[in-house]
Amino acid sequence: MKYLNLLESMVNIDSGTGDTKGITKVSELIRPRLQDLGFSYEPVTAEDGSIHFLARRGTGKKVLLLAHLDTVFPTGTAVARKFNIKGDLALGPGVSDCKSGVTTIVGALEELSHRGWPDLEINCLFNSDEEISSPGSRGIIEKVAKDASAVLVVEPAEMENITVARKGIGRFTLRVFGKAAHAGSNYTDGCNAILELAHQIIKIQGLSRVDQGITLNVGTITGGVRPNIVPDYAMAEVDLRIVKPEQEDLILQELKEITGICKTPGTKTRLEGKITRPPMPSNALNLKLYEMIKAVGKKMGIELGAIESGGGSDANFTAALGIPTVDGLGPIGGGHHSEEEYMNISSLERRINLLAGFLKAFPEY
């Protein structure tokens, strides 16, 4: 498959979030290919200094294609686990999330150049901080997406599905402050921050309403120095997931209220954090866009389904602006963020042709 060489070259470059040198190297693999197709291609610097890349060509209905260049893996991973193939699986760091998506965009546009360009203004944004919730690129994404008729996010697919909804994500840190003391000779003088954190954890977890799609997970805890010292500090990191915009204010108010009340005398708390990705509920706009893509797929012999994902992506941002948005347009893959990450090779060509076919047909819808 001719696009595997591009994917292999990208996977064999470390491009963890914050690795500007590596991310730029990956960008340089796709820049000349898009410029050869008549796209402008330029770096865009966010307010926090992070660098992202925007390509644009054509006039007409505006479409935004999104995929990220960064991975979760540290420098050295690409050398230790180079791109390799086992049967129908391509393996390597970031091979699916999301370098297969970048490859899909490049491939679809190259295929489209042979079929004839549609009357579209095609924008491609390749950001470099998606794996940390896109703090720098969010504003750029929202600016470029303005007035778009559709946003297509090319994250990896789950089977032959298109993602029409995603959960919103919040990240919080709860800090507990107490008073240190010798655990033997001055035990009663101390105020145990870890004890208070334990009470807080039970309350936080108790806010989850799984039947409503609201979950809170205390994922990490730290605290204390030695077992013979009453700890004066403890900390927990919390992941929050919601499915509806109206749940945000409710759960944030509850979280602030319960963490503001301490059961352990002499301790106090400080809650930090926010919603980092708004929820992307399934709605008529997203479903209509999905139905268009489904119709294109059917003509190609691909039966596509619609799914809702518990994870977040940059699709959350554009959907929250009321722009028709779907996700999961990349090849089928799995094992993300692990040594087992893979992409189904046979799905790459299908997804390239699906994206090219939709872009070709979209002006008629």
Query: Where do the H-state alpha helices sit in 1-88?
Result: 4-11, 20-35, 77-80
Distance CA 304, CA 296 (A): 10
Non-local (6+) Cβ contacts of 209 within 8 A are none
pLDDT score recorded for residue 73:
98
Q: Which residues pair with 234 in a beta bridge?
A: 176, 223
User: Any idea where the domains of the chain sit in the sequence?
Assistant: 4-167+280-364, 168-277
Taking CA atoms, 291 is separated from 120, 268, 329, in Å, by 19, 52, 13
pLDDT score recorded for residue 2:
85
pLDDT score recorded for residue 8:
99
Instruction: Quickly list DSSP for 149-175.
Output: SEEEE-PPBSSSEEEEEE-EEEEEEEE
- Identify residue 156 by its one-letter amino acid code: P
Enter the tokens of residue 18. 């914050």
Enter the tokens of residue 74. 């540290």
Using CB atoms within 10 A of its CB, is residue 258 exposed (0-12), middle (13-18) or buried (19+)? middle
The listed CATH number (1.10.10.10, 3.40.630.10, 3.40.50.620, 3.40.50.300) that belongs to domain 4-167+280-364: 3.40.630.10
**Residue of 25, 8, 29, 319 whose CA lies nearest to 165:** 319
Taking CA atoms, 1 is separated from 152, 352, 359, in Å, by 24, 11, 22
- Over the chain (365 residues), the average pLDDT of each successive run of 10 is 94 98 99 99 98 98 99 98 98 99 99 98 99 98 98 97 98 99 98 99 99 98 98 99 97 98 99 98 98 98 98 98 99 98 98 99 93
- Per the CB < 8 A criterion, the answer to whether 31 and 120 are in contact is no
Instruction: Indicate yes or no: pTM above 0.85.
Output: yes
Pairing mode, if any, of strands 325-326 and 150-153? Answer: parallel
Residues in the chain: 365
Is 325 strand, coil or helix? strand
What is the CATH number that goes with domain 168-277? 3.30.70.360
